[in-house]
Chains A and B, each alone.
Chain A
Amino acid sequence: MKGWQPDIDLYHLLAALGQEVIDTPDEDVRALCGQFGAPISGVARDMRARIAAINDGDAGRSPTLRDIVARREQSIRSH
């Protein structure tokens, strides 16, 4: 398809789907977690730990995305 820009389509789609996620009612989130065997408390605990690790003073020392990508590309090249 001439001139197709899939990243633009993807961007539009993700923006719309992201809003769907935000708009999902709490009761649906809870019901789904139970239904799919992922207790909401477990997911939340994992996320809280992740946020706390950054929130508790490590923010300044976290690598930037550019650093992460550079390290991964270097790692791929060295294999």
Chain B
Amino acid sequence: MERAERNRLRFVPDGTAAAGDVGCALRALSDADLVRLKTLARLWSRGLPGGLGWTDVLNEAIVRSLDGSRRWPPDVPLLAFLSGVMRSICDEHWRRARRDHAWLVATPDTGEAVAAPDNPERVLAAAQALGAINGMFADDPAALKILAGLAAGMTATDIRLHYDMSERDYDSTRKRMRRALLRRGLA
């Protein structure tokens, strides 16, 4: 959102935007921002258990922003804020799925029942989602290296050093990745 538009927003005493202004800001999103928002929703909802789709996640994020249960902080672009809300929604959903489907096992020492650390459904769904993302870049070995690094929580510098990539190669690969992500978001 343009700075001038953002400056017209009213902020509540805790410094976050009033819920009504989130609605105004949503209406003021540019065409390109709306494409980005759709791409983000598709990205975050990829592989979610329970059959949830990107429209469910997007709708929930907008509802939470409008009803004030998620507050838009100052100095955070609206798209970044909404991406964070969607991330949080998906994280909650993953955790709920983990908890609802947790297996109880007896510990060998005490015989006490505890939740198993992993369950096959969660592992399978997340592994499938990772596989699907990797599959988008199956013909691009440099992109696969970057994906592996990002999944491991590495920074750009770490990835470049670890895989011996030049800054130029890293940047051009990232550009190809952005294009592929947006193309998928438009599908």
Chain A interfacial positions (CB closer than 8 Å to B): 4-7, 9-18, 20-24, 26, 28-30, 32-33, 36, 38, 40-41, 43-44, 47-48, 50-52, 54-55, 59-60, 62, 64-66, 68-69, 72-73, 76
Contact = CB atoms under 8 A, between A and B. Distances in A.
Task: Name B's interface SS.
Answer: helix
Interface in B46-64: 46-47, 50-52, 55-60, 62-63
> 8 closest A-B pairs (Cβ-Cβ)?
A6-B126, A44-B31, A7-B126, A9-B151, A47-B34, A16-B150, A29-B32, A38-B186
A65 B44 contact: no
Contacts of A64: 60
Contacts of A12: 150-153
Task: Name A's interface SS.
Answer: helix
Please indicate which of the listed interface residues A4, A5, A23, A32 has the most CB atoms of chain B within 10 Å of its own CB: A32
B27 interface: yes
B70 interface: no
B151 A13 contact: yes
Given A28-B178, A54-B59, A18 B66 contact: no
Contacts of B38: 43, 47
Contact of B181 (A10, A17, A55): A17
B50 to A, nearest CB: 4
A18 B41 CA distance: 9
Interface in B136-171: 147, 150-153
A6 B130 contact: yes
A66 B99 CA distance: 14
Contacts of A55: 23, 26-27, 62, 66
A17 to B, nearest CB: 6
Given A13-B133, A55-B62, A32 B182 contact: yes
B34 A22 contact: no
A48 B179 CA distance: 23
B87 A60 contact: no
B32 to A, nearest CB: 4
B83 A40 contact: no
Nearest to A20: B178
Interface stretch (B9-17, B88-96, B104-112): B88-96
A28 B44 contact: no
Contacts of A50: 55, 58-59
